[in-house]
Amino acid sequence: MLRLAAVEQELASAHQEAVLAEGKRAIASRLGLEFLVVVIGILAALAVDDWSQARSNRQLEEHLLTSLAADLEDDRIDAVLQETLAGLHRDAVDHLLSITDHPLAPTDRQFDDSPEAIDQSLRRLLALPELQVFKATFNEMTSTGSIRVVTNRMLRRQIASYYQEAEVALGVPMRQVDARPDLQRALAAVGVASGEAGIMPDLAQRLRSDPTIPIHALRIRQYFENRVALEGMKEAREGLVASVNQELENRWGERKPIDSRP
pLDDT in tens, 139-197: 999 999 999 999 999 999 999 999 998 888 777 666 667 888 999 999 999 998 877 77
Per the CB < 8 A criterion, the answer to whether 56 and 67 are in contact is no
What pLDDT, on the 0 to 100 scale, is given for residue 8? Answer: 55
Residues 6+ apart with CB under 8 A from 169: 229, 230, 232, 233
Per-residue pLDDT at 229: 63
The residue that leads in pLDDT, 200 or 38, is 200
Least confident range from 7-16, 137-146, 202-211: namely 7-16
In degrees and rounded to multiples of 5, residue 101 shows phi and psi of 55, 40
pLDDT of residue 242: 93
Please report the sign of the dihedral spanned by the C-alpha atoms of residue 127, residue 168, residue 73, residue 84.
positive
Please determine, for residue 255, whether its predicted confidence score (pLDDT) is greater than 70: no
Indicate if the pLDDT at residue 2 is higher than 60.
Answer: no
DSSP state of 149: G
Q: How confident is the model at residue 261 (pLDDT cuts 50, 70, 90)?
A: very low
Nearest-Å Rg of the Cα atoms of the chain is: 39
Instruction: Quote the pLDDT of residue 40.
Output: 75
Name the pLDDT band for 83 (thresholds 50, 70, 90): confident
Handedness of CA 27, 28, 34, 37 (dihedral sign): negative
Q: For 20, list phi and psi in degrees, rounded to 5.
A: -65, -40
CA distance 189 to 81: 33
Residue type at 111? Answer: F
**What is the rounded CA–CA span in Å between residue 224 and residue 229?**
9
How many whole angstroms separate alpha carbon 244 and alpha carbon 250?
A: 10
CA dist 55 and 41 (Å) reads 21
- Taking the whole predicted model, whether its pTM rises above 0.85 is answered as no
CA atoms of 57 and 35, how far apart (whole Å): 33
| Rounded CA separation 68/114 (Å) | 47
pLDDT band at 259 (very low <50, low <70, confident <90, very high): very low
Q: Residue 4: its pLDDT value, please?
A: 56
Dihedral, 208, 213, 218, 221 alpha carbons, nearest 10 = -120
What pLDDT is attached to residue 141? 93
At 14-49, the pLDDT tens digits run: 556 655 666 666 666 676 666 677 777 776 666 666
- pLDDT surpasses 80 at 50: no
Residue whose C-alpha is closest to residue 96's, from 135, 54, 125, 55: 125
DSSP state of 209: T
